[in-house]
Every structure is written in C-alpha cells, then in structure tokens.
Amino acid sequence: MTTENTIILAILLVILIETSYLLYIMQKKQLRNNNTAVYVDTSVLMDGRVLPIAETGFITAELVIPRSVIGELQLLADGSDHDKRARARFGLDVAQKLRECESVTVTLLQDGSVAREGVDERLLNLAKKSGGMICTIDYNLNKVAQVEGIGVLNINELAKNVRLSHLPGETINLELTQKGQDSHQGVGYLEDGTMVVVENSSKHIGKKIDIEIIRALQTDAGRMMFAKAVDSGSTNLLGKTKSQPSGRRQAQGRSISKPKTDIKTKSLPKPKKSVNSKADKTKKPKPTGRPRKQSSLKRSMEDDLLNLVENQRD
C-alpha cells in the first residue's frame, strides 16, 4: 500500500506541476498582449489616417506618443517651410484628438522634448525595451524595425490591402448569376464577394461577359460596383473612329504641304517665263503670216503678167 500511495502522489504532483506551468505561460502571454504598446511616429501624426482607424476601434493596443515626437512636430511647426509647418500643425491637432478619443487608450510618454540620437532611434530603443511595436509610414524606419525584429504597423500597407480590387474604367470578365433590382439588370460577384450590378444585361444571365466598371459605392453594409456590358462591335466602331483622325491628319498634312510648293513657285521666276513664252507664241504667227500673204500676192501678180504677155504674143 505504501508503494502504491507514493506512486499515486508522484503522479498527482507531476500533473499539478504541468498544469501550473501551463497556466503561468498562458497568463504571461495574456499580459504581454494586454501590455503591448504601439509607439507612434511623427509621420503617422502628420498623415492623420490613424485617427479614423482608432475611432473605429481596430486599434486595441495602447498608443504611446513620446514627448520627443511632439518636440519634433513643434520644431517643424516653427520652421520656415510653409508645407512642413502646415503638416506639423495638423499632426499636433491629430495628437490632441487621439487623446480625446474614447475608443483607444493614448498616453504621452515623458522621454524628453529633444532626442539627441534622433527620433527614429529613440522609437526603436523604446520598442525594444518594452517589447512593443512601432506605428509608422516611414519606409526606412519600417525596414530598420523589421531587420531588428520589431513589429511594425504600417498604415500604407493597410490601405493597400483594403483598396478596391478593380477601379472605374477597368474591363473584366464576369459571370452573371441573377437578375438585379430592375428587370434589365444583371448581377455578378467578384472573388472577394463584392456585388457587381451590370446595366442592360439581363439577357446574359448564366454567361460570362466583358464588363466595364463605371463606379464603386462603399457603405457600412459593404461594397458595391456598377458596370456596363462591353460589346465587340463597339470596339470595332471605336477602331474605325480612331482611324478617321489619322486620315484627317494626312489630309491636313497634304493641305499644309501645298502652300509650301506655292511659295516656292512664287519665289522662282518661272511664272514670268511662262507669260513671256505665251506672248512670244502669240506674236510669232503675226510676222510669219504677213510674208505668206505678200508672197501669194506677188505670185498672183506674176501669173497675171505672164498671162498678159502670152495673150499679146498670140
């Protein structure tokens, strides 16, 4: 009995040790997740998009704005550059509105108004010490943080992944699955589930057709796109219309080239020669005609004289 009891007690002790160790690890992870701080960079405050993101409640971690970041904004706001001064003042307004926002916790860290090593280096050191993350849109700071193993929240990457998959004016091939609210409309869906309403395409339901995106509508209920069907005949017509201007351009080019030849002909003395030649041609027959008439008269007179002489002889 004593040996069996000791074995049972040993097994129970092992189970208690394992469960306590697992509970300790889970609590430690929860504390890390709850205490993860996000250090806000100067570029994010000057950008301003962090404010609507925080108001929607997507940022659950604590936002920490170091005093050195506020000092850099103040330095830029007092500078001579008009654009940087306006953006820095806007960044100070964004920091104030973040502190007033109820959907996110924002704290101002008193680390000194001036960072001798630089604000970027100060943010990296703070994130390393506390095991936090950095919120920035600075490309170089983002790369350095990734190299050093620090987590980065990049608003540009978020906007890139959330943007529209297809922009207005883009042509895609889509399968229409059902009718729309109006009898002439057809409805299809993109790969991400976005509904596309195509005008005057109810006869193409169950087929894949080429459509052109006209506009996109973003609402709280989701995203919707409107499009129109693209016919192959319309593209041919477009091709014909495109060929017309080229012909006109050729005609314009020809019409433009004509005055150049006229200018050259005017500059040359060719027209004068042509006029003189015509005058010469008209004048030449006149002197040639008179000798012919005189010779004919002379011949007729000689013939008459010969006839008289012959008559007298007779």
Query: Cα–Cα distances in Å, from 110 out to 118, 220, 287?
Result: 16, 39, 121
Judge whether 138 and 84 are in contact, CB under 8 Å: no
CA distance 270 to 244: 38
**Model pLDDT, residue 194:** 86
Domain harbouring 92, CATH code: 3.40.50.1010
**Prediction pTM value:** 0.55
Q: Which residues contact 167 (CB under 8 A, 6 or more apart)?
A: 213, 216
Q: For residue 72, count CB atoms less than 10 angstroms from its CB and return exposed for 0-12, middle for 13-18, buried for 19 or more.
A: buried
Q: Tell me if 306 is assigned to some domain.
A: no
| Residue 107: inside a domain | yes
Q: Structural domain of residue 78, as residue ranges?
A: 34-161
120-128, Cβ contacts within 8 angstroms, sequence gap of 24 or more: 120/41, 120/144, 122/66, 122/68, 123/39, 123/41, 123/66, 123/69, 124/148, 124/150, 126/39, 126/64, 126/66, 127/39, 127/151
Query: Taking 70 as the threshold, does the pLDDT of residue 187 lie above it?
Result: yes
Residue type, 273: K
The upper half-sphere exposure of residue 226, i.e. CA atoms within 13 Å in the direction of its Cβ, equals 9
Number of structural domains (the chain) is 2
Q: Specify whether 40 is located in the same domain as 148.
A: yes
Query: Would 246 be classed as within a structural domain?
Result: no
Cα–Cα nearest to 34, from 46, 26, 22: 26
Does residue 240 or residue 52 have the better pLDDT? Answer: 52
Q: What is the DSSP letter of 183?
A: T
How do residues 193-251 score in pLDDT, each as one tens digit? 888 999 988 888 998 999 999 988 877 777 888 999 887 554 443 334 344 444 444 44
Residue 36 contacts residue 61 (beta carbons within 8 Å): yes
Same domain as 116, residue 50: yes
Q: Tell me: do 199 and 93 sit in the same domain.
A: no
